[in-house]
Structure 1
Amino acid sequence: MAFITWCVTYVTMKTTLLLFCSLLCVATSQIDQDGVCTEPFPVVSNAEVSEEYRKPNYTDGSPLPFSCVLGYVPAGRIVYSCSKTKWARVRNGRCLPKPCELPEDMQYGSYDLVEGTDLVFGTVIKYTCDKGYQMMSQFDRRVCMLDGWSNSLPVCEVLTCELGETDSSVTMSRGNPANGEPVKYGETLHFTCAQDGMSIRGEKEVTCTSSGEWSAPFPKCEAITCARDEIHNSVQVRGLPTGNSPVAYGTKLHFSCNSNMALEGVQVVTCLKNGQWSSTFPKCVKLDKQCGPPPSVPFADIVGTSRQEYNDGDWVKFKCQSYYKLQDLRESTKCINGRWSNPITCLKPCTVTPEDMDKRNIAFKWPKPGLRYVEHGDRITFACKKDWRESLNVAFAQPCKDGRMNFPACY
């Protein structure tokens, strides 16, 4: 009986001990699990957990440093810490794109950002040549890499135009390149004809454009000619080339009429440098037209008796009145084909009165008693009256011009 009691007591104590141990293990395991941090790690832009700090579990208070990924540089430290199974940020640094130095200046060109907004890792720039220049490099783009800009600086060279052939009669002047070298963008060639009697057909100035082409084809020189205007059957002409050959520059044509006809127009017409005739071709008209009374000429009288009708070829002579003078000494007009030729003009004298001189404080430099009228073309010299000084605005020797004279003055 005593043995049975002992056995029951022993078994009961052992069961209680096992139960206590089990509870103690569970509690200890739960405590360990509550203080551990594991993956996933926090997400940090352009950064990752440093390789030497990677492990399955992190105890409470363990640090978790981050490193910037390739192409980025740290701006301060980035560190997290395990805090009660959660990751807490303790250092607030960040990762920024690695900057590149300012690209070198490109002669005759420039660059623009085509990818990115700043000169940092991954940014792409594109180079463009100035107007009139062309890209000679294989690559026109550069990328900001870890060790700086990729590719070498592109090269731009000025566009040129090939010097074409010109006719032997054409001369290039002012800008003609030496030794047949290509002409650069913006340069201009000037063309002239080497011989008289030739004219440029095309543009006189040709410029090398930004496309590497000439602004116009090279011109040529061709002989200056005048068109054969209509010649009336009654007109006789001398100097025309035979057949239908063009009339060359400088050619003079001489026109005439039969004895019973009169030439209306100029007798000699010349082919000018601009390819035009110096005058229209004349005509021949019959000499059977009469003229009426000669035209009235102011300040002139007909010499002799005036008639109501005049035959073709008749002359009428005029004489200017006192103090009036014939212009160009032309004193006669002729009846030609029913019309009067050579109009007559009498030029007016100038009036010089004492009143004109007194109000200007002047007098004749050499006394001219009774002088009142001065004929056209004559000159009078004035002088200041006593105690008056000359004005330098008007000369004191003044001519008469068709009734007008510019009087000087003294003050």
Structure 2
Amino acid sequence: MGFTHFLLLSTLSLGISVQAQSCSRPVGRPNMQLKGDDILKDSFPDGSTATFECATGYRSDGGSGTVTCTAGQWSLLELSCTKKNCGSAGDVTNGEVSYPEGSLYGAKLTVKCNDGYMPVGGSKNIFCRDNGWEGRLPSCEVTTCSPPPPISNGKFIPVQEEPYNYRHSLIYSCDRDYTLNGTSTIVCSENGQFAPSPPNCVKVNCEEPEIKNGVWVQGARPPYGHKATVTLQCDDGFVMEGKATQICQINSSWSPGLPTCKTIPTTPKTTTTTTPTTTTTTTTTTTTTTATTTTTTTSVKKPTDKEGPSGDAKNNNGWWALILIPIAIGSVAIGLYQYNKKKKSNLKGYPERVPPEDVQLS
């Protein structure tokens, strides 16, 4: 009897101990959070409750957000939460409101004004927040552009003090001897600014297009203004590297760039020199020697160059012939003269021959 009573008490104590077990902090779904003071608790005693609510930007779709701790276990959470929908933000006169990201929590809307109108006031970025669209829609007003500043050495038309309307055009021109650098016409654009940027007036004066070993042959003469065109040419014996035709640009420089004149390269020339054959004879042997020498030279021929060694050798042979022939003729004449003189002197030793007298016959 005593043992049975002890066993019964032990079982009851164990049951009470299990039933009294506490619960740790409950965890809800990603789009919900604990409500009120429950978010500060780390442990909940057996039998206590905790309440969930939808997170910021979400709303309840139904179901209870309260759970109960029983013997260390939480009951099933029935709350369902979905993103809030901000709906329409309203309309804009002379413009359009669009929702490229939708209208749920976190989305961003855009406002586009009609052609000829521009947004004025309002918020730059409008997002869907917990309490609806955050920010104020802009209004769409007629687009105008403020008058541009004047330009040096030029002007634009028409000139007016009040703003220019959308798509109004201005035309620029420069004073005498100045050139317009940029677009002559600008237009009041949809963002309230003239486009493209206003031009400016510059004085263009390219330098004399002088090149070494080259000359001007045709085209403009100084002063060289914008788009002045010249043609250059290299001297004889030189070849051009670059473009012969040059145009004066807005920055007072020649385009595509002054050329250069380089010396015309020559191909290698091969010269062969042959030494005349010489023969040497003695009482024992006869030796014949022939020598041939080949040399390669590279030279640049100029208009004033004289003939090479071969031409000089031929000219020397001609001069020797002119000198030796008269000497030979003179030697022959002197020899004949000496011969005749000697012959006459030999004849003086003999008596003159007298023809015989006639003999009278009796």
TM-score band w.r.t. shorter chain? 0.3 to 0.5
Give the alignment's TM-score, normalised by structure 2: 0.47
Q: Which protein shows a greater Rg?
A: 2
Bigger helix fraction = 2
